[in-house]
């Protein structure tokens, strides 16, 4: 956009009449234009960040790209995989006091089993984000530049995933 390429300082000097273009008055004009110059810089940064954010969408490849760009730009080890629940392997039933898995229903050749309890996965997830431990470590190198990397990870996932999808983060 051409409006973002405007040289505010030069425009301020050109607006002054030629007889008033003295170093002291030009310095005063620069001082008065400082907030506008600062706002233009903020607008340029916001536009750059917005254009960068628009490039990503909810697809797995772009979600991996976004997470790796922000959190693990050198080694690019963050991977997104299907969960075992959505890949057709079925679910496990856990009952209190019982130490075995019980098959409840068969559909074709694949077992389809139901879950009970949060630890066993009653919150069904659509994909799993595999993150190395040192990427989300609060004492690692990412902590200083990003704040809390685990919060940054969850913020990016919530921003770019589809609203109907659920995820689980696994440290490897």
pLDDT digits (tens, 9 = 90+) for 22-34: 999 999 999 999 9
Assigned token pair, 143: 């902590």
Q: How far is CA 62 from the centre of its chain?
A: 11
pLDDT of the residue at 87: 47
Residue-wise pLDDT tens digits, 45-69? 999 989 888 887 768 888 999 999 9
The pTM (predicted TM-score) of the whole model is: 0.57
CA torsion angle 55 57 60 61 (round to 10): -10
- Show Cβ contacts of residue 40 under 8 Å, excluding neighbours closer than 6 positions: 4, 6, 8
How far, in Å, CA of 150 to CA of 138, rounded? 8
pLDDT of the residue at 144: 61
Q: Name beta bridge partners: 127.
A: 82, 167
């Amino acid at each position: 956009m051409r409006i973002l390429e405007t040289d505010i300082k030069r425009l301020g000097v050109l607006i002054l009449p030629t007889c008033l273009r003295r170093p002291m008055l030009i310095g005063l004009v620069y001082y008065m234009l400082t907030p506008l110059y600062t706002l233009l810089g903020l607008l340029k940064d916001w536009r750059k960040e917005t254009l960068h954010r628009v490039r990503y969408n909810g697809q797995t490849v772009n979600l991996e790209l976004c997470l790796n760009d922000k959190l693990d730009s050198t080694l690019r080890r963050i991977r997104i995989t299907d969960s075992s629940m959505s890949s057709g392997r079925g679910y496990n039933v856990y009952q209190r006091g019982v130490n075995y898995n019980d098959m409840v229903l068969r559909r074709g050749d694949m077992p389809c089993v139901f879950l009970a309890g949060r630890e066993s996965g009653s919150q069904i997830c659509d994909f799993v984000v595999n993150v190395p431990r040192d990427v989300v470590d609060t004492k690692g190198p990412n902590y200083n530049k990003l704040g809390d990397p685990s919060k940054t990870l969850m913020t990016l996932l919530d921003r770019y995933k589809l609203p109907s999808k659920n995820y689980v983060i696994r440290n490897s």
